[in-house]
């Protein structure tokens, strides 16, 4: 909604035409734009449209400022004019008067007459303007829904490149129009589109199918159908070989299809899927791909039986190297994955053997969110506890002790503080108190 601009409605001028033509009320009436008899005069339309409903459904559209009540900043439905020439929504100005005000809210002039006069001309113009916009919106919606149905019917007949083009157009329609999504689902589109995925499906068809499916609300039977090994295998192949958009969509679809009970399945734990995700995560050129890949990898790692496979494909070093360049959302996901992997011996060993684990993880103590601090502490504890003598010196050199002191002095929860105390003791095992303080530069931290 635009900011209200005071305007006397005796000489009202506004843009009501699609071509930007400026009209005043007198011209609008003369040219028949307002219609007549309280109804809308429009080809093929004789029913009375509800103004309140139209305003609600057209909430996001930009409304001419002269239709806006200066008090509520909402479109007026029952405009009335004061003796000052200013117009307001009836209920709003009457409430103003009921509070004891005897002035015009816009001009603050004393009112010599508190009569409110219905502004029928403006009301009719508001009604006509909203009716035009509403009917145009409904027409566009009907055209889109009709086109979605036509495309679904075409998919039953066309093959080859024609099928690819039909799917591509349907994907654009579904992405752009929420009502088209419902139409596709109501007309059995999910089953039809899913049936196009199989062992002999080309990647051109598969990428369009998956691009549609990730934009639909899939029910449980549809998800079960898409979990068939042949379909999952195709999705994994395209995750490894498709365009970046296709890879992201494949990742999103797999995320939609799996639940915690499905994580141990052969398909989800396949090395091909894990390798494809790792490649997606490592591609820094596409932040959306990194986020999608980390999200699915995080979900997969919730299953203990899969964690060893994640470590075995070499996921730990690249995740550690990625940490400094990640945004907050991706950082929490990456730290959570590493924290989960640190719960198994193979994961702890991989973290210890990665040269940058300690320096990279230490950076996020007390520098991001409390959640990041907690995850970082858990990872560091797992690594340092695995090889105290080897890791303590590295941790001290990376500034861990100073960061731990900050955690202890902060308002973090008691569990974090206790873990920090234990880790601080672990780091100090090979030093005298004087050398430890000197090495850690704790005096600078305290200052």
Give the single-character DSSP code of 125: H
347 φψ region: left (φ > 0), alpha (ψ -120 to 50), beta (else): alpha
What CA–CA distance (Å, rounded) separates 265 from 225? 15
In a domain, residue 307? The reply is no
In a domain, residue 254? The reply is no
> Which pair of structure tokens corresponds to residue 3?
């900011």
| DSSP run (H or E) holding 88 | strand 87-89
| DSSP run (H or E) holding 166 | helix 160-176
Sequence-distant (6+) residues with CB within 8 A of 404 are 365, 420, 421, 423, 424, 427
pTM over 0.85: no
Tens-place pLDDT, residues 237-296? 999 999 999 999 999 999 999 864 554 455 555 889 999 999 999 999 999 999 999 999
Strand partners, 22: 15
Angle in degrees, CA 176, 181, 187, rounded to 5: 140
Tell the residue number behind the tokens 């080809």, with chain if given: 43
Pairing relationship of beta strands 117-118 and 87-89 according to DSSP bridges: unpaired
Are the C-beta atoms of 374 and 416 separated by less than 8 Å? yes
In a domain, residue 316? The reply is no
pLDDT of residue 259: 64
Are the C-beta atoms of 373 and 407 separated by less than 8 Å? yes
**How many structural domains does the chain have?**
1
- pLDDT tens for each residue of the chain, 447 residues long: 444 445 544 445 444 444 334 445 545 544 444 443 334 434 444 457 888 888 887 777 888 989 999 999 999 999 999 999 999 999 999 999 999 999 999 999 999 988 999 999 999 999 999 888 888 877 776 788 888 998 999 999 999 999 999 999 999 999 988 888 999 999 999 999 999 998 899 999 999 999 999 999 999 999 999 999 899 999 999 999 999 999 999 999 999 998 645 544 555 558 899 999 999 999 999 999 999 999 999 999 988 889 999 999 999 999 999 999 999 999 999 999 999 999 999 999 999 999 999 999 998 888 888 899 999 999 999 999 898 888 878 888 888 888 888 888 877 788 888 888 888 888 877 677 777 777 665 544 433
pLDDT of residue 279: 95
In a domain, residue 178? The reply is yes
> Which pair of structure tokens corresponds to residue 21?
């033509």
In a domain, residue 181? The reply is yes
First and final CA of the chain: distance in angstroms? 52
Tell the residue number behind the tokens 């861990």, with chain if given: 400
Are the C-beta atoms of 357 and 351 separated by less than 8 Å? yes
Which candidate, 15, 8, 210, places its Cα nearest to that of 132?
A: 15
In a domain, residue 106? The reply is no
Which candidate, 41, 46, 59, places its Cα nearest to that of 1?
A: 59
pLDDT of residue 202: 94
Q: Structural domain of residue 230, as residue ranges?
A: 144-249
> Which pair of structure tokens corresponds to residue 179?
């009502």
pLDDT of residue 266: 56
pLDDT of residue 264: 44
In a domain, residue 154? The reply is yes
pLDDT of residue 53: 86
pLDDT of residue 416: 83
pLDDT of residue 268: 58
The two most distant CA atoms of the chain are separated, in Å, by 96
What CA–CA distance (Å, rounded) separates 353 from 180? 52
What CA–CA distance (Å, rounded) separates 309 from 102? 77
């Amino acid at each position: 909604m635009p900011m209200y601009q005071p305007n006397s409605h005796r000489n009202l001028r506004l843009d009501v035409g699609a071509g930007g033509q400026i009209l005043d009320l007198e011209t609008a009436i003369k040219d028949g734009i307002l219609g007549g008899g309280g109804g809308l005069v429009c080809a093929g339309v004789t029913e009375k449209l509800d103004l309140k409903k139209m305003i609600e459904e057209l909430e996001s559209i930009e409304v001419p400022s002269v239709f806006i009540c200066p008090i509520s900043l909402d479109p007026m439905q029952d405009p009335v004019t004061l003796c000052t020439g200013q117009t307001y929504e009836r209920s709003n100005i009457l409430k103003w008067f009921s509070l004891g005000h005897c002035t015009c809210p816009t001009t603050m002039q004393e009112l010599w007459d508190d009569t409110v006069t219905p502004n029928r001309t403006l009301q009719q113009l508001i009604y006509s303007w909203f009716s035009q916009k509403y009917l145009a919106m409904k027409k566009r919606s009907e055209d889109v829904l009709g086109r979605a149905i036509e495309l679904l019917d075409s998919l039953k007949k066309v093959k080859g490149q024609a099928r690819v083009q039909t799917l591509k157009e349907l994907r654009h329609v579904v992405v752009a129009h929420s009502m088209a999504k419902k139409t596709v689902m109501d007309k059995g589109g999910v089953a039809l589109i899913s049936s196009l995925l199989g062992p002999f499906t080309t990647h051109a068809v598969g990428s369009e199918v998956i691009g549609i499916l990730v934009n639909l609300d899939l029910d449980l039977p549809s998800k079960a159908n898409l979990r068939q090994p042949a379909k999952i295998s195709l999705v994994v192949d395209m995750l490894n070989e498709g365009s970046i958009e296709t890879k992201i969509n494949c990742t999103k679809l797999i995320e939609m299809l799996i639940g915690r009970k499905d994580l141990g399945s052969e398909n989800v734990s396949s090395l091909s899927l894990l390798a494809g995700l790792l490649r997606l995560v490592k591609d820094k050129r596409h932040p959306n791909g990194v986020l999608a890949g980390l999200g699915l990898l995080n979900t997969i790692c919730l299953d203990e039986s899969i964690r060893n496979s994640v470590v075995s494909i070499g996921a730990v070093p690249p995740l550690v190297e990625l940490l400094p360049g990640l945004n907050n959302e991706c950082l929490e996901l990456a730290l959570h994955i590493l924290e989960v992997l640190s719960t198994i011996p193979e994961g702890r060993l991989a973290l210890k053997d990665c040269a940058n684990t300690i320096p990279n993880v230490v950076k996020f103590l007390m520098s991001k969110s409390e959640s990041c601090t907690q995850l970082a502490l858990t990872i560091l504890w797992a690594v340092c506890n695995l090889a105290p003598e080897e890791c303590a010196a590295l941790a001290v050199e990376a500034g861990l002790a100073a960061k731990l002191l900050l955690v202890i002095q902060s308002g973090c929860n008691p569990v974090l503080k206790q873990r920090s105390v234990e880790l601080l003791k672990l780091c100090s095992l090979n030093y005298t108190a004087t050398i430890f303080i000197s090495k850690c530069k704790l005096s600078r931290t305290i200052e």
